[in-house]
Amino acid sequence: MSEIFLTNTLGRKKEKFEATNSLVTIYSCGPTVYRNVHIGNLRTYISVDLLIRALKYNGYEVRHVKNITDVGHMRSTGADTAYDPIINEALKEGKTPAEIAEIYTQAYFEDQKKLNILDAHVNPKATEHIAEMIALTEELVKNDLAYEVEGTVYFDVKKFKDYGKLSGNTLDKMGQLLEAVRVSVETDKKDSVDFALWKLSKDDRAMVWDSPWGKGFPGWHIECSAMSLKHLTKAFESGKFDPEEVKTIDIHSGGEDLIFPHHEDEIAQSQGASGKEFVKYWFHGGFLTVDDKKMSRSAGNYLVLNDIESKEYKPLSFRYLTLTAHYRSKLNFTWESLTAAQIALKNLYREISRYYQESEAKIGCAEYEERFLAAVNDDLDTPKALTVVWELVKSDYPASAKLKSLLKFDEFLGLDLHTVSSGKISDEVGALVEEREKARAAKDFAKADELRAEIAKKGFEVVDEEAGPKLKKIIQ
Ligand code: AMP
Ligand code: ZN
């Protein structure tokens, strides 16, 4: 197995990836499902997909858990003007929070499919893991790392000595910083740096749960500690939280805005409850920006996948666009860059469609395969990987060998290159070609033309060559 190097946010340098087990465990912070995700969110999910594909490309077996942040924090009426208008609208239409979550969960899965983002093995929902969140909170109280104030439980940050290791926001530096990121009305905390694990329900929450501290709802960060430990370790297998069964998770991922406070707080919670290292490698993707500003709902500069599809762009053109930048770099979105990506992808399809019906190659192009793997394993260097693709296309290797290598590369790239190679022709199309050959032999050219049109309807152009007819996939 070759060596993979990844940038670990913990330490901020490229490190050789070493799995703790034969099965690589990955947890990704997933979508919030009370509205459509935007293409900035999708860029992060594509980056994580590339990581997973890179591991598989190298022969690792992977277990990937990506959570769904559903509606635990939603209020029961649409009256709250602080809300996203989409939620207000849906609530006013009489939809329940669970229905809203279901609609946008399915919408997310559709986006994921269109972008060739591989399904995670489990997509746990936050609201189905309240018991685990309560159990972790109880453990933290027991370990004297959390305290209750009138139905709300806070993590006592000063008691967790490793706080700040991931983000660099160490306790001594932190006071002001924390104040800046947290819009907080929590005045009963011992210290402003403390964060809530469980909150007392004071108002019209749509969903509240019983807990040892009364009716309430969980803080945001605890859901990912609970779901990652539940689905990637045996910590909850006995029905209770068992710190002995906690194992270090290989990789945890998200966009760079999650480093602090979300992931810092997840580490504090998970390590505070188990006493063990939570995650070995922290993988964070860079932002998709517009005019150099982070794409976000709140800034109003966002697009959803449907917006680009309705302008006749293929979702995979967006995937191609993301490959042109390194996953950790900022990528500034413009329509021009998306157009360029779409043209490049179509050109690639066109090239591949010419590699028609060559006899199956036994070998690919070893030299290019080596360079491609080196790019993948150098912290997922997708711009370099694309360069190798284009150099291979332009090389004078036989078409069949190029095709073999490109189809292998696509296991990482996820650009659907197999659908444009006409390597596998259905029996039905094969029979039509044969029939057309017979018609031509009998000089029945009208029939031959009819059959050519029929074959075209099935997506192939017949190219008559000296050695016989060949098929070329028609690219739309
Ligand atoms: P959220 O729903 O805000 O939790 O975001 C879901 C995922 O998308 C998280 O991993 C975020 O870090 C990521 N994300 C949010 N905005 C952007 C952006 N503009 N570019 C890239 N990733 C983003
Ligand atoms: Zn999370």
Residue closest via CA to ligand 1's atom 9 equals: 255
Find the 254 Cα to ligand 2 centroid distance in Å: 8
Residues in the chain with pLDDT values less than 50:
77-82, 183-185
Span from the CA of 300 to the centroid of ligand 1 (angstroms) = 14
CA pair distance 153, 217, nearest whole angstrom: 11
Residues 50 and 325: their CA atoms lie apart, in Å, by 12
Which amino acid residue places its CA nearest to atom 11 of ligand 1?
255
- Angle, to 10 degrees, between the axis of helix 39-57 and the axis of helix 366-377? 120
pLDDT at 179: 55
- Report how far apart, in Å, the C-alpha atoms of 258 and of each of 44, 75, 285, 287 are: 11, 24, 10, 11
In angstroms, the CA 330 to CA 54 distance is 21
Angle of CA points 309, 84, 115, to nearest 5°: 25
Amino acid symbol at 443: K
| Residue to substitute in 36, 41, 330 for testing ligand 1 pocket (most ligand atoms within 8 angstroms of CB) | 41
How many Å apart are CA 271 and CA 263, to the nearest integer? Answer: 12
- Assess whether the C-beta atom of 253 lies below 6 angstroms from ligand 1: no
- Nearest-CA residue for ligand 1 atom 12 is 255
Query: Residue 303: CB within 6 Å of ligand 1?
Result: no
Q: Which atom of ligand 1 is nearest to the CA of 288?
A: 20
The predicted model scores a pTM of: 0.89
Q: How high is the pLDDT of residue 447?
A: 95
CA 102 from chain centre, in angstroms, equals 19
**What's the CA-to-centroid distance between 286 and ligand 1, angstroms?**
9
Question: For ligand 1, atom 5, which residue shows the shortest CA distance?
Answer: 41
Ligand 1 atom closest to Cα of 295? 19
Per DSSP, the three-state class of 122 is strand
pLDDT of residue 80: 45
Of residues 215, 151, 143, the one with CA closest to residue 188: 151
Question: Where are any strands of DSSP class E within 127-248?
Answer: 146-149, 152-155, 195-200, 216-218
Helices (H) then strands (E): counts for the chain: 15, 15
Place of tokens 């019209």: 204
Q: Which pair of tokens denotes residue 352?
A: 């591949």
pLDDT of residue 468: 73
* Nearest-atom index, ligand 1, CA of 302: 19
Q: Does residue 455 line the site of ligand 1, with CB under 6 A?
A: no
Instruction: Report whether residue 54 contacts ligand 1, using a CB cutoff of 6 Å.
Output: no
Question: What tokens appear for 80 in the block?
Answer: 């709250």
Specify the DSSP element, H or E, that contains 336.
Answer: helix 335-353
Query: Can you tell me whether residue 225 is helix, strand or coil?
Result: helix
Please tell me the distance between residue 27's alpha carbon and the centre of ligand 2 in angstroms. 9
Does residue 296 have its Cβ closer than 6 Å to ligand 1?
yes
Rounded CA separation 64/70 (Å):
19
**Residue 308 in contact with residue 39, Cβ under 8 Å?**
yes
* Distance, CA of 88 to CA of 360 (rounded, Å): 57
Angle, to 10 degrees, between the axis of helix 264-274 and the axis of helix 130-142? 70
Contact between 5 and 16 (Cβ < 8 Å): yes
Q: Taking Cα atoms as reference points, which of 385, 72, 332 lies closest to residue 207?
A: 72
* Ligand 2 mean position, distance from CA 227 (Å): 9
- What does the angle CA 86 – CA 115 – CA 472 come to, to the nearest 5 degrees? 140
Question: CB under 8 Å to 321, separation ≥6 — which residues?
Answer: 331, 333, 337, 338, 341
Residue 257 in contact with ligand 1 by CB distance below 6 A: yes
**3 state DSSP class of 172:** helix
| 294 CB near ligand 1 (under 6 Å) | yes
Rounded to whole angstroms, the Cα distance separating 82 from 78 reads 10
* Nearest residue (CA) to ligand 1, atom 8: 41
At residue 471, the pLDDT reads 78
> What 8-state DSSP symbol labels residue 30?
-
Which residues lie near ion ligand 2 (Cβ < 5 Å)? 29, 224
Q: For ligand 1, say whether the CB of 216 is within 6 Å of any of its atoms.
A: no
Is ligand 1 within 6 A of the CB of residue 224? no
DSSP 262-320: IIHHHHHHHHHHHSS--EEEEEEEPPEEETTEE--TTTT----HHHHHTTT--HHHHHH
Longest dimension (CA), the chain: 93
Q: What is the pLDDT of residue 402?
A: 92
Cα-trace Rg, the chain? 26
* Residues belonging to the chain: 476
Ligand 1 centroid from CA 151, angstroms: 31
Is 195:186 a contact under the CB 8 Å cutoff?
A: no
